[in-house]
Amino acid sequence: MDLKQLRYFLAIAEEKQILAASKRLHMAQPPLSQQLKLLEGELGIQLVERGSRRIRLTDAGIKLRDRAVQILELVDATTAELKEMKEGFEGTLSIGTVASSGTSILPEYIRTFHQNYPKVKFQLWEGDSYKITELLDNGLIEIGIVRLPLHSDLYESVTLPDEPMIAVYSEQWNIIGSDNGKISVVDLAGKPVMLHRRHEKVVSDACAAYGFEPNILCITDDVRSIVAWAISNIGVAVVPKSTIDFIPNTDLMYKEIDEPLLETTVAIIWVRNRHLSSAAEHFLKMLKESR
């Protein structure tokens, strides 16, 4: 017994006539009658009682009719769901992101994507760039959002616009800045500076270009920690501008550092030559088109 036989039998059961069922199925009557006989022979039980005008279902025929309805509805629903998954309309998209991008850059992309694919669910992982690449390598996520540089040929990427660095501090550090609302690298001289580990070299190089060595008080893997230290007046946090989005409503000040060397780049990455779900492919297409 296969799905085609179930569809044939269900048409006969609902029409109560072989001829009417054959017309509904767009096939000749004799082959349909033969299919019914073959089904009864395979099951070893009579499914219909044949009359001069109409047929009547036996108890076994009634049971098979009811089950056929359930089975065919389940098959049709499953087929539709799999088609939607293939086209990216359903499924789960697993994304890993560095903390600052997860609260600033990612939500806008998710909002747009969710409007177009409302049935797609999300799994979101957070960590530093090294953690995100580890999750990608292990197949726990399909797409990662990291900060460059990323020295690996394992990934394909889409880069987003460069992002300036800002200084986050309390008033006690007396950093005034220029008329354009920005500060200079020189304004960091002598101040206790707190950085993400990834930015240590670029900040040190920028300071060296102005003839001084930065007073680096703290190196961390999470910029949220040094923002908390800034709130406690411990020092000046130098972080990507997107960090503003999760700075709490305090008396902290933040100013962009007017220095091209102090810019950071966010990249969307995925493993090269690895199969991506349709949802992931649609998400990447949206990202590329929005650049």
What would the two tokens of residue 41 be?
């022979």
- In the three-class reduction of DSSP (H, G, I as helix; E, B as strand; rest coil), residue 120 is classed as strand
- Helix, strand, coil percentages in the chain from 3-state DSSP, rounded to 5: 45, 25, 30
Give residue 80's pLDDT: 67
Distance CA 175, CA 180 (A): 14
Whether residue 79 is predicted with pLDDT greater than 90 in this model: the reply is no
Evaluate if residue 18 carries a pLDDT over 90: no
Look up the pTM and report it: 0.60
Task: Report the range of poorest mean pLDDT among 98-102, 133-137, 197-201, 248-252.
Answer: 98-102
Residue 248: count of CB within 10 angstroms of its CB: 8
Q: What is the mean pLDDT of residues 207-227?
A: 92
Per the structure block, which two tokens stand in for 150? 């990323």
Phi and psi, residue 138, nearest 5°: -85, 0
Residues contacting residue 207 through CB under 8 Å, at least 6 positions apart: 185, 188, 189, 213, 214
Tens digit of pLDDT for each residue in 256-272? 999 988 888 888 999 99
Residue 143 CB neighbours (<10 A):
23
Region class of 101: left (phi > 0), else alpha (psi between -120 and 50), else beta: alpha
- Beta bridge partners, 90, equal 119
pLDDT band at residue 106 using 50, 70 and 90 as cut-offs:
confident
CA 178 – CA 187 distance, rounded (Å) = 10
pLDDT at 102 over 60: no
Domains of the chain: 3-86 (1.10.10.10), 94-156+268-290 (3.40.190.10), 163-264 (3.40.190.10)
Q: Which residues of 166-203 are buried (b: 16+ CB within 10 A; e: fewer)?
A: bbbbbeebebebeeeebbebebbeebbbbbbebbeebb
Per-residue pLDDT tens for 231-246? 999 999 999 888 877 7
The pLDDT tens digits of the residues spanning 33-46 come to: 899 999 888 989 99
